[in-house]
Each structure stands twice: as structure tokens, then as C-alpha cells.
Chains A and B, each alone.
Chain A
Amino acid sequence: MIDPVLPGADSARTPPPAPVRLSYRDAVREALRAALRADPRVFLMGEDVGRYGGSYAVSKGLLEEFGPERIRDTPLSESAFVGAGIGAALGGLRPIVEIMTVNFSLLALDQIMNNAASYCHMSGGQLAVGLVIRLATGAGRQLAAQHSHSLEGWYAHIPGLRIVVPATIDDARFMLAAALACPDPVLLFEHAALYNAEGDLTPGLAAVDIDHAAVRRPGHDATVITYGGSLPKCLAAAASLAAGGIEVEVLDLRTLRPLDDAAIVASVRRTRRAVIVDEGWRSGSLAAEVTTRIVEQAFYDLEAPVERVCTAEVPIPYAKHLEDAALPSPERIVDAVRRVVGGDGSG
């Protein structure tokens, strides 16, 4: 229905395609629909993906279109259905397993780490687990300690997994296909606060990669490195800094494992200053890893210590004022940028 117009269409007669505006949720749904249409081996399974329509309404309508064999509701048995996804992948299917939220992925952690991430290596390369796991992630909706985790950085610790984090409408629409084309287990994290975000699909775009970071806003005074649900906060911070004459470059990592070192280092070499924004807890965070890589590879290019804006090290509290205080915010990002650019921040 909103499949993008492919490049090379008859451009002499037709005007350039108008951008299609849609929500992040709709973009993910279109990605699922396109994947299900493109390959009969693809199926979706998870809790309430079918009759309920998906707990974030992402899969709404898919059961009616593709039927219960390919849109499979599962019992509340995370370990079993993730493990079954692994087995189905080994058996020649292309499963997309939805774990309702990353919080519940902890019940399937054994399957994800000990099986999905390990089979290829421990079988001496005989097995490949071509499985995509989609998970909602993140805090910010007053869901308290058991429903607000940001564990994508934590999963990025595990060799054998690929961790991808769509932050834009284009990535929400096209990263899934790239993940399905990958022979390895890919965990695809959708920040729950992004589902309602709307944006334009880039006209003519038909595919994206899951290998490279992307500059979302060019700048020269500092690099703000982020991913997922923190990207809009960083762009808001960048806009307000620009009003004060500070131009930051915003780098969207897109893939947390493997990290795109080259893009990180290239940007930091240009700007000589870095702020990492990561909704994970600070200690042992993805932000710590990115910081280390900058220090290892661009230490002599730095004009200031690297700053991190992470989540306070506390299980996320329910009360709004406490939750807000715990999470990265545009204000905290602005403050961190001002610190790295020095002095009063006037450049």
C-alpha cells in the first residue's frame, strides 16, 4: 500500500514521488507485511501478535491478511517460543519472533545467548541461526522498574548476535528486510516511545543496510553519538544548541553490534569532541564501549574529555518527576555539550 516507488520508474512522465508520511508503528507494520509477502518462509510469532493486534498495535491487521499459520499467537512462554524460533530457523524457515518487550526477553535469555548466539561457532560453522527477534525497549512512560529496561547495550555484549536499532521512519521501514537477509541472529530494538512518531519516508528508498552509522545532522563543534529512542532528544538538543551558535554533529549508530568504528572515529576526528547519549545505565554501558573506542582510536584528536549522558543507576521509578530525572533529556545533553565545547559554550 505504501511500498516506496523504486528508482528508475518512468520519471519522464510521472512527477517525482511525493514523500509518504507515516508513523514509526506503521513503518514497522509495512516492513512486516513486505517481508511476509516477499518470502513464504517468513512468519511472525509472539504474544498477542494476532488476535490482540500486537501489544503496541504494530501487527494489527496482519492476522487477517496472512492467517494464523504465519501470524502465530504464542502462550506466555518466552523461553520456549524464542527457542522454537531458533529451531525453526535451523529447520529452514525465516522466523520473526516478537518479544513483547525487552523486559520479558530475560526469560528467554538462555535461548538467546546460549543457543542463538553460540550455535554457529560451537558447531564449527555448520549451523547458522537466521532468526530475527523484535523487541520493544526503553523507558519514559511511567511503567516503573520491571517495564522500562534499555538492555540493547547489554545484548551488544554478546558475540554472535547482531543488534540493530531503528531510530527513523526509513530504518523502521527497511531494517527488517536487511535483518532477514542476514544469516545470523539479529535483535531489532524498537523504542516504545517512537511508535507514535511520524515522519516522511525518503522517496525512492527501497533498502537500507544494517552495517553503518548515519549522520543525522552535520556539525563541527562536537559529535553527539546516540541511537534509538535517544535520537529525537539529541536532535532537539542540537537545535537548541544551534540557536546559541554551537553546531553539533549527531551520529546515529543504528547498529550496536558490530559498531561502526570508522564512522565514530571519522566524526570525532572532525569535531574533536564527543558526547555519548545512551538510555542504558552508565556503568558497563554501550556508552562506555563507544567512549573506549574513541579513546583507543582518536585519543590525540580529542580537545576535551568524552562526556556521557546515560540513565541514572536506579531501577526506573514510577513517579514522573523521578523518571524524568533518571533519563537522558535534551537539557542534560545540552549541558554535556556545553561542557565539552568549553567555557560558557559560546564556542
Chain B
Amino acid sequence: MNAPAAGPAGREHGLALLRGMLRIRAFEDRCYQLYGERKIRGFLHLYNGEEAVAVGAMRALDAGDAIVATYREHGHALARGVPMDRVMAELYGKQSGCSRGRGGSMHLFDVAKRFYGGNAIVAAGLPVAVGLALAQKLRREPAITACFFGDGAVAEGEFHESLNLAALWRLPVLFLCENNRYAMGTALDRTEAETDIAAKARGYRIDAAAVDGMDVFAVEAAVGRAAAAIRGGAGPALLELRTYRFRAHSMFDPQLYRDKSEVEAWQRKGPLITLTTRLKAEGLITEDDFRRLEAEASAEVDAAVAFAESAPWEPVADLARFVYAERSA
């Protein structure tokens, strides 16, 4: 981690990052509540604690870049600009949802935003990202593909096969490993003989570094540098973003595998606290700014919930639509 120190480029920059992270936090907290109210069902994986990763990374990427994410992808979708009301409607299973109610929390898609989704099979997104990058390369597009995945995915064959393929073909793909230290209940050092994920990538001749994923500026800077190199033809890169999940793995996790004190220690150095403290210390924002952004985020979530509540259901008669592509004549 010998990257140059990164920080806010000014008040607007700081506010934009804070706004992005507060939106995700407010959204996730409301999702937790809505799950209790049975408005949201199925598996729900919340992103609390990891907001700096999605927000920092998306800000450093271009609108034309392709994004591949996991089942813990509300934050990525929101940071990417998928409208919050469409995301919430998807969690409600409504027709107005970004996947028309077919996908739910784990399968958010928005091709207009080049958001190639929510994938609920661990590591299954990596080969797809390699393919998107292959298309970008062969079509001589200036875009790259960013692929998010968890530390657990590193154990899957698809991780290794994808890294090798991307390196062999020098594809414009940026692998973004969100290392939150656990795959469900299994800590990284219980599943990996070599826990240095960047070192594994180097074994495939992929440029790799570890980044403090709790520091949104560090994430933004590292992703920006890596993306620029990839765009310049350097071939793939991997960043290991060290972060922590504050909530349970899903809504069914009794968290037998970690102590409360561990969670609390991480919460004290959480990404929102760190950012807010820093922006205030540097005189870029005031407590009033923070309160205003928080209120705006909460209002946006309220509006998204209202939208989802009143959105229509897909007719049952359309159950079998979209099994195959609908071609216009």
C-alpha cells in the first residue's frame, strides 16, 4: 500500500462522496427495516460498512465502462446511478423495478447504466467481466470493465481461470476484490493458505495492490490510477479493497463466528465516520452540511419507498415473458 496519499480536492468533491455514501447507508438501513415488515423478501445482503468501496470506485470510472457486481450490490447500483426508486421497486418485486420484479435484491440490472448486475453465484461474474472486456477490446472501445467480487470468490476456480484469461489476452478489466474478511461465517485465513490476494494476482502477471477500503479517497485514487493504466493498454489489474461488513451476512445469519467487539472496533473506524471527521477537520464541511445531506438521503429513500409501494405488479399472465429475447419485428 505505497500509494500517494489521497484526499478531498475541495468542498464539492467531499460533499459528493459523502452524499453518495449517505444515500447507500440510508437505503440499506431502510431495507433492513422493510425486511422486518416483510415488504422485502428472499435473501437480503446489506452493504453497511463497505460504502466507500462502491462510491469511490464508481466515481473513478466512466459512464461508458461496464460494471459487474455480486448479490451484495445495492450500493454499487446506487453509486452507479441506477435510480433509487427503481432499485427499491425491484426489492418489492414490482413491475417498475430495475429487473421488472424478476430479480430482487440479488439481481439488480440496468443495461442503460452498463450495470451488468447482481450475480448470486460466488465468482460467476468474473468470467462474464472477462468477456465484456474482450468485446471492448475487439470493438476498440475506450471503455473498461470493472468487476466486483468478495474475498470468498478468490477460492473458486473461476477467479483463477478469469485472471489468467484476462492477463493472457491483455484485456481491459479491473478486478475489484471487496475483502470484508469473511465469506458468510468463514474468515479469510480459514479458507486461504495465502491470504494476500494481491499476491495471487501477481502470480498471473496482473498488476495488483491492496487499498484501504474504508477510505473513500484512497479507493477513488487507486481505481482512477488503475483504470487509466488499463485504458492505456496496460492489461488487467486487481485491487484488493480492505473493508468490513457491519451487518450480518444476510438476514438469516446469527453471527456465531465473530465477536460483537470486533464489529464495534470496525464501526469506530467506519467509512462514514472517517470521511465526515476528515472533511470537518479540514474545514470543508460543517455539521449542518452533514445533517442536510443526511436529511436529503432520507427523503430520497422515503420517495423511493413511496414509489415502490404504489408501483404496479407484473401481471401473472406475463410470467413466462423474457425467458427468451423479445425481438422487435
Interface residues, chain A, with chain B CB atoms under 8 Å away: 47-48, 51-53, 55, 73-80, 103-104, 107, 141-147, 312-315, 317-322, 325-326
Contact = CB atoms under 8 A, between A and B. Distances in A.
Interface string B68-110: 0000000000000000000000100110000101111011000
21 contacts: A48-B185, A52-B184, A52-B185, A52-B256, A55-B184, A73-B190, A73-B191, A75-B191, A77-B156, A80-B157, A104-B122, A107-B121, A141-B41, A147-B43, A312-B319, A314-B323, A315-B102, A317-B319, A320-B41, A322-B101, A325-B319
A6 to B, nearest CB: 35
A146 B120 contact: yes
B153 interface: yes
Contact of B102 (A76, A318, A325): A318
A203 B252 CA distance: 33
A141 B157 contact: no
Interface in B206-241: none
A143 B43 contact: yes
Given A52-B184, A77-B157, A144-B42, A319 B102 contact: yes
Contacts of A48: 184-186
B120 A53 contact: no
A318 B153 contact: no
B87 to A, nearest CB: 13
A104 B99 CA distance: 23
A43 B42 CA distance: 31
Contact of B107 (A77, A80, A145): A145
Most chain A beta-carbon contacts within 10 A, residue among B94, B185, B313, B316: B185
B169 interface: no
Nearest to B124: A146
B251 to A, nearest CB: 12
A317 B102 contact: yes
Given A314-B319, A315-B323, A321-B316, 9 more contacts: A52-B257, A73-B190, A74-B191, A80-B157, A107-B121, A143-B42, A146-B107, A318-B101, A320-B93
A309 to B, nearest CB: 15
Interface of B: 41-43, 90, 93-94, 99, 101-104, 106-107, 119-123, 152-153, 155-158, 183-186, 190-192, 252-254, 256-257, 313-314, 316, 319-320, 323
Given A76-B123, A144-B107, A319-B313, A51 B41 contact: no
A74 B185 CA distance: 11
Contacts of B103: 144-145, 318
Contacts of B319: 312, 314, 317, 322, 325-326
B207 to A, nearest CB: 25
A319 B158 CA distance: 30
Contacts of B119: 146
A111 B191 CA distance: 21
Contacts, number: 123
- Pairs A-B, 4 closest by C-beta atoms: A52-B185, A318-B104, A319-B93, A75-B155
Given A76-B153, A319-B314, A147 B120 contact: yes
B152 A319 contact: no
Contacts of A73: 186, 190-191
Contacts of A312: 319-320
A74 B193 CA distance: 12
Nearest to A106: B121
A81 to B, nearest CB: 10
B77 to A, nearest CB: 15
Contacts of A319: 93-94, 101-102, 104, 313-314
A312 B317 CA distance: 12
Contacts of A52: 184-186, 253, 256-257
A102 to B, nearest CB: 12
B215 to A, nearest CB: 27
Given A48-B184, A51-B186, A318 B107 contact: yes
A135 to B, nearest CB: 15
A319 B155 CA distance: 32
Contacts of B191: 73-76
Contacts of B158: 107
Contact of A76 (B90, B101, B106, B155): B155
B320 A104 contact: no
A100 B313 CA distance: 32
A77 B190 CA distance: 13
A315 B254 CA distance: 30
B275 to A, nearest CB: 31
Contacts of A74: 191
